[in-house]
Amino acid sequence: MTNAIQSLLTAEQCAFYQENGFVQVDNVLNEQELIELRQYMEEVMIEDSGALSLQTDKKGGSYYRVLNQRVNVWRDHGGMHKYSFNPRFAQMALELTGASGIRLFHDHALWKMPGDSKPTPWHQDYPYWPMTEQGAMSIWIALDDVDESNGCMMFVPKSQNAGKLNHIDLANPQDLFEFVKGTDYENAKPVKVPLKAGSCTFHNGLTFHYAHSNVTDKPRRALAIIYMPDGTTFSGKKHAITMDLNVQENQPLAGRMFPLLASRA
């Protein structure tokens, strides 16, 4: 855990995030870090590392047909631990949220496979998370240049203000915008966010977002890390991350599996 001492983001970036529910931050990884992280991701994806793989859900869950992912790779791969616990990323999350402290919920190693014609449908993240309080968010780091041909993200500005909507089944998705008919969000104009490799976005867990399909001949690789404000409590909702842990409803998500990564103390 590191103390936030020197700001890594501008006041304008923080204000943009607070108003719009997302922000782009360029060049959070240098070229050497990109090379290293790509290698670690390759090892995670091709080896039986023991990391939780949502690609092979026993209940036939469907999200896993949209992309290949492994979760909590920090527990099984020392190199991935280095990046999932990166103090720069956690401090930026601290600055954007205004929280007193930032804890890790989990990481995602994400590959949208070549020629995958399935986009990731419009959804919010927060309804999937077993958290009572709002405020959790994600960093999404591009390991490849991304645009609409291989799976760049889109966001609806200010949609975090719509509040928590229904859970969207990412295999047989409902139209998220059906839940906001008659509001300003029904016809809101999405913003496309292409990124250069090594750049990232942060987005609020309530922000509407979408990822294009990958129609290229190469995988689109990304590392996503979910952060939550210190003090966030467990809602009791069933979730793959908490199901094997002795976490009690209404108790803080804390301890060694949800470490404090940055603090204003």
Residue 104 near residue 85, CB atoms below 8 Å: yes
Cα 27 to chain center, whole Å?
A: 18
pLDDT of amino acid 67: 65
Instruction: State the angle between helix axes of 11-20 and 87-97 in degrees (0 to 180), rounded to the nearest 10.
Output: 60
What residues make up the domain containing 120? 2-243
Between 45 and 37, whose confidence is greater?
37
Tell me if 252 is assigned to some domain: no
pLDDT of amino acid 46: 81
pLDDT of amino acid 65: 41
pLDDT of amino acid 115: 86
DSSP state of 230: T
pLDDT of amino acid 2: 54
CA distance linking residue 232 with residue 134, whole number of Å: 8
Tell me if 160 is assigned to some domain: yes
The mean per-residue pLDDT over the stretch 225-234 comes to 98
pLDDT of amino acid 59: 35
Tell me if 263 is assigned to some domain: no
Rg, C-alpha atoms of the chain? 17
Tell me if 260 is assigned to some domain: no
Residue 207 near residue 33, CB atoms below 8 Å: no
Tell me if 258 is assigned to some domain: no
What the block records as the tokens of 257 is 């599996």
**Quick one: 6 exposed, middle or buried, by C-beta within 10 A (0-12, 13-18, 19+)?**
exposed
CA distance linking residue 31 with residue 174, whole number of Å: 40
DSSP-based three-state secondary structure for 211:
strand
- Residue-by-residue DSSP string for 130-189: -BSSS--EEEEEESS-B-TTTT-EEE-TTGGGG---PPP-SSS---GGGGGTTSTTTTPP
pLDDT of amino acid 45: 86
Sequence-distant (≥ 6) Cβ neighbours of residue 27 within 8 angstroms: 196, 198, 199
pLDDT of amino acid 72: 95
* 5: pLDDT strictly greater than 80: no
pLDDT of amino acid 52: 45
The mean per-residue pLDDT over the stretch 161-187 comes to 81
pLDDT of amino acid 53: 42
pLDDT of amino acid 1: 61
The rounded mean pLDDT for the chain is 89
Tell me if 255 is assigned to some domain: no
* 191: pLDDT strictly greater than 90: yes
Report the number of distinct structural domains present in the chain.
1
Least confident interval from 21-25, 45-49, 97-101, 218-222:
45-49
pLDDT of amino acid 62: 34
pLDDT of amino acid 162: 93
Judge if pTM exceeds 0.75: yes
Residue 223 near residue 195, CB atoms below 8 Å: no
What the block records as the tokens of 25 is 């931050």
Q: Residues 118-172: pLDDT tens digits?
A: 889 999 999 999 999 999 999 999 999 999 999 999 999 999 999 998 766 666 6
The mean per-residue pLDDT over the stretch 103-129 comes to 92
pLDDT of amino acid 170: 65
Tell me if 253 is assigned to some domain: no
DSSP-based three-state secondary structure for 201:
strand
Residue 21's region, left for phi above 0, alpha for psi from -120 to 50, else beta, is left
Q: Residues 38-83: pLDDT tens digits?
A: 999 999 988 654 444 444 333 333 333 446 889 999 999 999 999 9
Tell me if 45 is assigned to some domain: yes
CATH of the domain at 148: 2.60.120.620
